[in-house]
Amino acid sequence: MTQVNAIWSSALRQQGLAWGLAGGLGLSLFLGCSRTPTAPATSEADHAEAPANGHGGKSGSDSTDSAGQRAAKSKRPMIGDIPLDVWLDNPIAESKKTGPSVPAPTAKTTETVAVAKTAPMPTEGAKEPAPAAAPAGGDDWASIISAEDLQTEIKKIKIELTDSLSAIGKYNAHYKEIAMEGAVLSALAGIAIVHPEKVSWKDQAPHVRDVAAEMAKKAKGLGQKPFDDTKKEFEKLEGLLSGNPPPGLAEAAPDVPFNEVASRRGIMQRLQINSDYLRANFQTEAKLEKGQEDAAHAASITAAITKVIGTEGYGSADEDEYKAFVKSMVESNLVMMKAAKDKDFAAFSDANGKVTKYCSDCHQAYQGSQ
């Protein structure tokens, strides 16, 4: 795992803000894909955390609207409750873009993230995919992500945040990525609470979850104040993760639903990055064999945070079709994780192709409901 950390830590410094340009797969599965990032704006609304129901501002009182009523309220194409162009200006066109390999998953990107050739979007076909084969026991957290992978990923995020919050200039350049990683960190800490395996900071996991969510909220714009507020929350995280919790923390309940702390928008952005990485960098048996630990880790993280946004409370999470897509995506990433560990390129490649198809089918299904 030392090799994994070295490879990923190096990759962290090589990327800038291009996750939103990835296109390709785009994880259109839960709401389409994330919007191509623009230059940082000062408006708080531009970077406000996604609402608890995960559907771009729908209140609880709106939840009884039918799809037809929602469509009548707006002429914009919709995916569920969200205008299609919230995520990409032209998601279908973006999903067909191709390009060279991309670096390992990270918040920062210094060059455009391009993706390997993907399967064409089907014009017809069943909207509900047949589940991919997955390792036994795939429904419990221990089979999806190990405690080691949890800790490895959180260490990687901590390294990234340390750099991004080292100076106000770096914060200004990357505050949106800080919010994204805060959402992912909050989700991973939530998993750690219920995970059967032990992590070194497990007793502090509820606080890690809540402080990470608060940090994501603070990283909402340019300037000294948001920088200071965000860094203050990060310093609390450093203490919690190192076994030195700061004094005066509010009580943290262990059983808070994921949707109340982990922004789906931030998680979707990270899913975009991970999926581009898995699709673009392991196209041959030799590449998979050389990077098998990285591939297995990325697939495990992708499966875990996909499962998170399929839990109760997120928008559409109670719909059968949405559940089917989440299940298929999780299982396909678990197949990739196992295949990477076994150096089984055929199984890895097959599962990767299925992920692309599931995403296209999901996007087509939700676009058709506008």
> Per-residue pLDDT tens for 358-368?
777 766 764 53
More confident of the two residues 273 and 43: 273
Whose CA is closest to 289, among 248, 338, 343? Answer: 343
Task: Pick the more confident residue, 192 or 96.
Answer: 192
Which residues make beta-bridge pairs with 82?
Answer: 79
Q: How confident is the model at residue 136 (pLDDT cuts 50, 70, 90)?
A: very low
* Residue that has been written with the tokens 């395996």 in this structure: 197
pLDDT at 224 > cutoff 80: yes
More confident residue, 170 or 113: 170
What's the pLDDT score for residue 257? 96
For residue 93, the tally of other CB atoms under 10 A from its CB is 10
Please give the torsion angle defined by the CA atoms of residues 263, 265, 269 and 271, in that order, rounded to the nearest 10 degrees: 70
Residue 92 pLDDT more than 50? no
Q: Facing residues of 15 across strands?
A: 109
Beta-bridge partners for 79: 82
Determine the pLDDT at residue 13. 42
| Percentage of the chain exceeding pLDDT 90 | 49
CA distance between the termini of the chain: 46
pLDDT at 74 over 50: no
Across the range 327-331, mean pLDDT stands at 93
More confident residue, 251 or 123: 251
Q: Give CA 116 to chain center in angstroms.
A: 19
What's the pTM value of the predicted model, to 2 decimals? Answer: 0.66
CA 339/CA 336 separation, integer angstroms? 5
Tokens 């994880």, residue located: 27
For 367, other C-beta atoms within 10 Å of its C-beta total 16
Q: What is the pLDDT of residues 100-111, one digit of tens each?
A: 456 666 655 433
Beta bridge partners of 78: 83
- Which of 8-22, 58-72, 323-337 is most confident? 323-337
Give residue 160's pLDDT band: very low, low, confident or very high (50, 70, 90). Answer: very high
Q: What is the pLDDT of residue 275?
A: 87
Distance CA 145, CA 167 (A): 33
Res. 86: pLDDT tops 50: no
**Which secondary structure element, helix H or strand E, spans residue 214, and what is its range?**
helix 205-218
- Asked if residues 340 and 299 have their Cβ atoms less than 8 Å apart, the reply is yes
pLDDT of residue 138: 36
State the average pLDDT over residues 217-224. 96
Average pLDDT, the chain: 73
What does the pLDDT average to over 64-82?
47
d(CA 74, CA 139): 38
Give residue-wise pLDDT tens across range 35-62: 333 333 333 333 334 333 333 333 333 3
Q: What is the pLDDT of residue 308?
A: 96
- What pLDDT is stored for residue 48 in this prediction? 37
